[in-house]
Amino acid sequence: MSIVFDRAVDYYDQTRALPEWRHRAIIDALVRETGITQDSRVLEIGIGTGRIGISIAEHVRRLFGVDLSVEMMNKLRLKLANTNLKIDIAQANARHLPFASNTFDVVYAVHVYHLVENWRNAIRDAQRVLKPGGKFVVSFHKRDPHSPNTLLRRRMRELANEYGVDTRRPGAQSEEEIYAEILKWDAAPRIVQTSVWQETENVSEILEEIDRQIFSETWMIPRAVMDQIKPRLCKWAQEKFGDPAPPLQTRYDSRWLIAAKA
């Protein structure tokens, strides 16, 4: 089973765009910490619409990218048409990368392994295609565990469970699991913090995003169940945060986990 991102193609870029300074911080840290040069062979797993890949492609002569979703990659192709950037894109499952062993200097993935069934095999395949000494990089993203967004999503999952819906996505259930898997082949991966920021969260906007099923966390919930959950979640939110809820400040941080192949 896989989560098909084709459904998100029309709104993915608008809803996942990062402020320029955070975007730059993420790209600069990846390039700096892995020592990417124009000649490096670099692969992005789950490249999607190229939200990250397009900026990495500015630093290498030729970037490689794979994704399951043809629709997402078509969007990337359109963006590339007006540039001199070179990205070789292929439809492939992260578990079966269509490359020879020991091919890449850097392999990276941003928000992907929570979606990949048998994700441990996918991480093994990423390691396989890396050259010895090559770097494997995964994005980690932490949201304040007490933020309205975290609490509302948790309550949404609890309510969906009551209707018999298993909301878990098919891949890794936590960053800790991914970290533990990587420890099996690099005993001392590095964690590089790229940005820390405060965001103002608005409860009514989060409720609307949940109802519109913008994020993959909501995609396991059938529409009919979401329609049943919605009034209960709104009532819970009113009791928890007030009515109307004041805007609330939340702390986020984003990091790269960087492992090296022996």
Ligand X SMILES: C[S@@+](CC[C@H](N)C(=O)[O-])C[C@H]1O[C@@H](n2cnc3c(N)ncnc32)[C@H](O)[C@@H]1O
Which residues of this protein are in contact with ligand X, per CB under 6 A?
2-3, 5, 16, 46-48, 51-52, 66-69, 72, 93-94, 110-112, 115-116
Task: Identify which of residues 51 and 203 has a Cβ nearer to ligand X in the complex.
Answer: 51
Min separation Cβ 118 and ligand X, Å: 9
Helix intervals (H) in the chain: 12-16, 20-34, 53-57, 70-80, 119-129, 148-162, 175-183, 203-212, 223-241
Dig out the tokens for 120 from the structure.
């441990």
Task: Identify which of residues 45 and 203 has a Cβ nearer to ligand X in the complex.
Answer: 45
Task: Identify which of residues 79 and 230 has a Cβ nearer to ligand X in the complex.
Answer: 79
What are residue 139's DSSP bridge partners?
256
Min separation Cβ 108 and ligand X, Å: 9
Task: Give the max Cα distance, the chain.
Answer: 57
Min separation Cβ 207 and ligand X, Å: 21
Distances (CA, A) of 132 to 50, 58, 102, 129, 181: 27, 25, 7, 9, 18
Q: Check: CB of residue 77 under 8 Å from CB of residue 89.
A: yes
Q: Check: CB of residue 213 under 8 Å from CB of residue 229.
A: no
Task: Identify which of residues 19 and 244 has a Cβ nearer to ligand X in the complex.
Answer: 19
Min separation Cβ 18 and ligand X, Å: 9
Task: Identify which of residues 214 and 248 has a Cβ nearer to ligand X in the complex.
Answer: 214
Min separation Cβ 19 and ligand X, Å: 15
Neighbouring C-beta atoms of residue 102, cutoff 10 Å: 12
